[in-house]
Structure 1
């Protein structure tokens, strides 16, 4: 191990050939590296900043798409697999690292939906435990809920994961693995190609070579691939959130109305989000968004009017068409693989996406049909 800008970094010996190199240290990149390293492969991960400092840190961590019935079957398949796997992943990471990702099962109430009938029909088709409930039942379960709502549906078993702790646990797990190289604050400037194959990446200081390269760089994936002439329709979509600190039992369940949600952490922190803004790579928080989020918070939970905002921040989601990620090899560039473009559902879909990637890279039977996510035919 060595120290880089205050961070302890595990480094395989320089004479070892890297099997797979992962570009991007968010939840998707970290988990991709973790699952591949578990197979005994020699893995390198490079991240332009510190790991887990972008969208993976900024999100709310609900282990469900906000409106799962509004997505395609491709997103649903990944979401269902991930939801079932998350508790096992959290237990494994806690046992290996001592860092608890805090998968917190609270259930989720959707309030005053315009498409409630469609939601219930979707749940029946998919076998998900979503049901209509009386508003009095909601007020009994969530005493702090505002009075302005009349209808609700509820799904038991929906969890949230404390995403900064998830990425911290994954980072710690990688540091403990002797077959993993982790390089932070190491921006990739381009790709190395030989004989028609992608065989590595270029940084400011060196070339890093590997048998295969995986791009999992979130909102920055499109810019990175543009250097190869690849048009990846992934763009940054800004989201802002605020955080309150309340009593641990203040909010027993997640609630969502008018596109805004409140998420309880186990220690009483309450996250309220989120905005949806097309502002390029500008992730500065704004006063207008703060005012809007506060208004939503008070509408959902009136007692928050007297609570202090502990923190206000913004992050950049990797926006993509229909929110369907790109998972697989790029046909025109052998050796180059993608695991990116998860839009609003990176944390939700990460376990299934990374397992599917590993299955494809290792030639195993995939957990689900990989064709909807294949880059072939979807890139410009």
Structure 2
């Protein structure tokens, strides 16, 4: 007979979002368990760069969520051990010409109204911020609120601080439901039943499968991305630097390969170079075209990178929802089922705010912001992408 546990909630997923849900639920007085078929941060979190960005988000619900998370990450940087490598280094968005700079200016004005604090940097001052940046840029915008974290360590530290029961290497094979009411009553793995009146789906790119096992529908799809890692270098890139077309790539629903260089140094020395996006299912094949584009675009921003060795390449899958907003909150079709997934490439940055919203929903307390735009009950049909399967 499998071992049984009495819990307030079971969280499926030991990535950064699941860890944040566990942390804030525990702070709210709930007893939770976290279960994952792999290790901590074994999915999208472990393949992320650790971006905590407001700079790439237009005014609206996702930016509101990001601003809340910005504040919460600052609090977490004091509460968690320093090895999470929280670094409020700021982001620099670069425009190669006046037309692009004008578009960035309009974009920034909308963000200011929401509480973002961008500063326009004329072209002749860019070298003061990034001495190795390619000359001839029209200008850019500095975002002091952008930051960085080591995502795998942050997930592990959040889980430790939550003091949650953690069951790794155990796939959830069934979401248990009451045969009369249909309400969830826990999950089953090959090793145990974990009984609880609440199940939180924080399974990232596998969120659609977990929803299906619970009798619900959530159209989460994987969106593949590659990252290049250079040899260790002195701190030659001071901020998170990216070309303005990255913003358009983030907002795009295209299934084809898109790439726009995001370049940043790390405390350990290597420079990280992202980011590509393409919807190819869970195809893990190496794309030489994606790597070539990234390397070329990075060297265009920082010419010195043309002579630097790439020592490693890694890739992962962003959990993509068609309208580019995560699903956070209760599923009205299955009592006791909550979702916290679909953050695409922003999950690391948005994790604390997601955890706080989930904790408020679980305890019936006032949420820190309006959760309505993130409701899993919203209609995704108008945004349904093609060519993904």
TM-score (norm 1): 0.89
Q: Secondary structure at the match of 1:49?
A: coil
Are the equivalent residues in 1 in contact too, given 2:28–2:359 (CA < 8 A)? no
1:92 aligns with 2:92: no
Deviation of residue 170 (structure 1)?
A: 2.3
Q: Secondary structure at the match of 2:108?
A: helix
Q: Secondary structure at the match of 1:211?
A: coil
Tell me which of 189, 192, 208 is aligned to 2:173.
Answer: 189
Are the equivalent residues in 1 in contact too, given 2:186–2:194 (CA < 8 A)? yes
Report 1:93-112 matches (<5 A). Answer: 93-94=80-81, 100-112=83-95
- Comparing 252-261 and 225-234, the one that deviates more: 225-234
Q: Secondary structure at the match of 1:339?
A: strand
Structure 1 counterpart of 2:151: 163
Alignment length (residue pairs): 358
Runs of 5+ unmatched residues, structure 1: 1-13
Runs of 4+ in structure 1 off by over 4 angstroms are: none
1:144 aligns with 2:128: no
1:51-103 per-residue CA deviation (whole Å, 9 max, x = no partner) reads 1021111122221145212xx61101110111112121022111xxxx52111
Alignment partners' CA distance in 2, 1:246 and 1:187: 37
Q: Secondary structure at the match of 1:274?
A: strand
Alignment partners' CA distance in 2, 1:217 and 1:270: 29
Are the equivalent residues in 2 in contact too, given 1:328–1:337 (CA < 8 A)? yes
Deviation of residue 202 (structure 1)?
A: 2.1
Structure 2 counterpart of 1:75: 62
Give RMSD over aligned pairs: 2.0
Alignment partners' CA distance in 2, 1:333 and 1:379: 18
Structure 2 counterpart of 1:3: none
Tell me which of 24, 44, 60 is aligned to 2:13.
Answer: 24
CA spacing shift, 1:314–1:147, aligned 2, 3 Å: same
Structure 2 counterpart of 1:302: 303
Structure 2 counterpart of 1:370: 371
Q: Secondary structure at the match of 2:195?
A: strand
Alignment partners' CA distance in 1, 2:88 and 2:128: 18
Alignment partners' CA distance in 1, 2:285 and 2:16: 22
Tell me which of 117, 121, 127 is aligned to 2:109.
Answer: 121
Report 1:45-84 matches (<5 A). Answer: 45-65=34-54, 67-69=56-58, 73-84=60-71
Alignment partners' CA distance in 1, 2:273 and 2:290: 12
Are the equivalent residues in 1 in contact too, given 2:327–2:376 (CA < 8 A)? yes
Alignment partners' CA distance in 1, 2:236 and 2:276: 24
Deviation of residue 212 (structure 1)?
A: 0.7
Alignment partners' CA distance in 2, 1:232 and 1:172: 29
